[in-house]
Structure 1
Amino acid sequence: MKRAETKKVKIGNIYLGGDAPVSVQSMTNTDTRDVISTVSQIKDLESMGCDIIRCAVPDMEAADAIKNIVKQINIPLVADIHFDYRLALESIKNGVSALRINPGNIGSRDRIEAVAKAAKERRIPIRIGVNSGSLEKDILSKYGKPTPEALVESALRNVEILNQFDFDDIVISIKSSDVMTMVESYKLASIKTKYPLHLGVTESGTVWRGTIKSSVGIGTLLCQGIGDTIRISLTGDPLEEIKVGKEILKSCGYLKGGIDFVSCPTCGRTEIDLIGIATEVEKKLASCNKNIKVAVMGCVVNGPGEAKEADIGIAGGKGEGLIFKKGVIIKKVKEDKLVEELMKEIENM
């Protein structure tokens, strides 16, 4: 799939835009001032495949903690700054890889210039983050509500502020909690600017609801070649954000390798505990790094035939099941041993 051409920007050891892979981000929900807890969570996220992590920096104590956090992690850290330009300057000094700010809300022209100059000296990109709740009063008055046109105009206004100070290492996010507004905003932005786009549905909700909204919004854009990095915003454990993000990339063809797990819906032909078996297999595969496709199918109708493209799988019967590889049956196993035998076969692959 051909992606929209965007400027290539470097954040730590990760590139966004251009020909770089689409990366997955998250944000810590620990108190940034608590270095031990924050580092622990970041390392957990790293192990799940998080490419870039963001931390809230609400005060100087949090900005000071940044220097101890970055020493202990291996992925780029983005400082999330609102209103106080001094927090941005301190975070830059303490080793962040990028900033998330809106230049228009950190103060006077000289303060914006100070941040832009410091970031440029350290080669630290700035992500301009616009959302439906952050629109300038005059833009909101002009459009009447947070329309895609309003959101994009706000983003480009903030870009222009940084451009005035000869700053060009910029990433843009234009988020909304409304999926269609989000989609249309990014589509418009992809036409009007060549800066890398950070995709996300803001305030998307709980893990269940937020996963659906994020998958629809982000997936729609990725399938049109729009987007350079993604963040799944969920009211829940940040680890879930990485799991969902990776699956979206796999589903849209942006990520190859790792486990591809498929299972069929239950129906009247099912004579084994398909839901329980599929759930257990999926859980056990979470720590598997093999590049294979695994299928859990409820009956012989949807078994070796329909799932013959799977590297290995189960086809259920009455109180038992067949284990097959590439559509070829290799053994028959009692239901209570199906998961165990399947995992043994996977381990030996």
Structure 2
Amino acid sequence: MNSGSLEKNIVEKYGGITPEAMVESALGHARILEELDFHNIVISLKASNVPMTIAAYRLISEKTDYPLHIGVTEAGTVFKGTIKSCAGLGCLLAEGIGDTVRVSLTGDPKEEVLVGHELLRALGIEKGGIEFVSCPTCGRCQIDLIGIAEKVEKRLGGLDKNIKVAIMGCAVNGPGEAKEADIALPEEKVRYCCLKREI
């Protein structure tokens, strides 16, 4: 169910669109299916408002064992929609809520899949693929870190290896942070390369 399609009587009962109203509507529809002896149900409670989405999924997770399809609907364009989706979905998934996910972006559907995969990787739910880390630029950075990081990320984009790659631009923090990576390119004009295992 979508917050924009709540039944009028439920909206009036709760004085507007609320997480409680969304949950009541979804469970009401589930009961209709159960009465028809249909139990192959997945419940979705989507809103474009992130706090409302989180609250609705938390509430329904306490009231039913049906699988939950989570998402922030109509999240927006690729940049803002990615942030809203990751804020909502990341919070829920970190709490163990959600069985399937949908990232909704106003853009190429491929972006939705990429964001979804990266979110699952960031949370440790999905394994495999390149984990790419790079530091933010600061006054200590003496190289074109942004350009180098973008080139390396693009070159490694299609590589199906379970490795961590670090591009660091700081001579102070970079070496310590980069040593956790399989491949590290620290600040010293990217002259140092530490390869812990073969690609």
What range describes the TM-score normalised by the shorter chain of this pair?
over 0.9
| Counterpart among 3, 6, 16 of residue 145 in structure 1 | 16
- Aligned residue runs from structure 1 range 285-300, under 5 A: 285-300=156-171
Unpaired runs of 5+ residues, structure 1, are 1-129, 327-345
Greater Cα radius of gyration, structure 1 or 2: 1
What is the aligned counterpart of 2:58 among 183, 187, 209?
187
Instruction: Find 2:120's aligned residue among 230, 249, 260.
Output: 249
The whole-number CA distance in structure 2 between the counterparts of 1:226 and 1:146 is 22
Give matches, 1:155-304, under 5 Å. Answer: 155-304=26-175
Indicate if the aligned counterparts of 1:272 and 1:316 stay in contact, CA closer than 8 A. yes
Tell me the amino acid that sits aligned with residue 231 of structure 1: R
Give the AA of the match of 1:323.
C
Equivalence map 1:73-88=2 (5 Å):
none
Shift of 1:307: 1.5
Instruction: Indicate if the aligned counterparts of 2:178 and 2:185 stay in contact, CA closer than 8 A.
Output: no
Aligned partners of 2:178 and 2:186 also within 8 Å: no
* Deviation of the 1:300 alpha carbon: 2.6
Distance 2:179 2:53 in 1: 38
Q: CA deviation digits over 1:312-348, x for unaligned, max 9?
A: 011122x55321235xxxxxxxxxxxxxxxxxxx9x5
For residues 157 and 186 of structure 1, the distance between their equivalents in structure 2, rounded to whole angstroms, comes to 15
Where does structure 2 lack aligned partners over 5 or more consecutive residues?
A: none
Are the counterparts in 2 of residues 264 and 296 from structure 1 also a CA contact under 8 Å? yes
Distance 1:185 1:320 in 2: 48
Partners in 2 of 1:142 and 1:304 — Cα distance?
Answer: 59
SS in 1 for 2:42: strand
**Structure 2 letter corresponding to 1:247:** E
TM-score by length of 2: 0.96
What is the aligned residue count?
199
Give the TM-score, by structure 1 length.
0.55
In angstroms, what is the RMSD of aligned CA positions?
A: 1.3
Counterpart-to-counterpart distance in 1, 2:53 and 2:177: 37
Name the SS for the 2:174 alignment partner: coil
The residue type equivalent to 1:286 in the other structure is G
Deviation at 1:252, TM superposition (A): 1.5
Query: CA offsets, 1:205-238, max 9 Å, x none?
Result: 0110011011010000001010000000001111
CA separation in 2, counterparts of 1:258 and 1:185?
32
Corresponding letter in the other structure for 2:61 = S
Match among 312, 324, 332 for residue 194 of structure 2: 324
Identical counterparts, % of pairs: 61
Do 2:42 and 2:68's aligned partners in 1 also have CA atoms closer than 8 Å?
Answer: yes
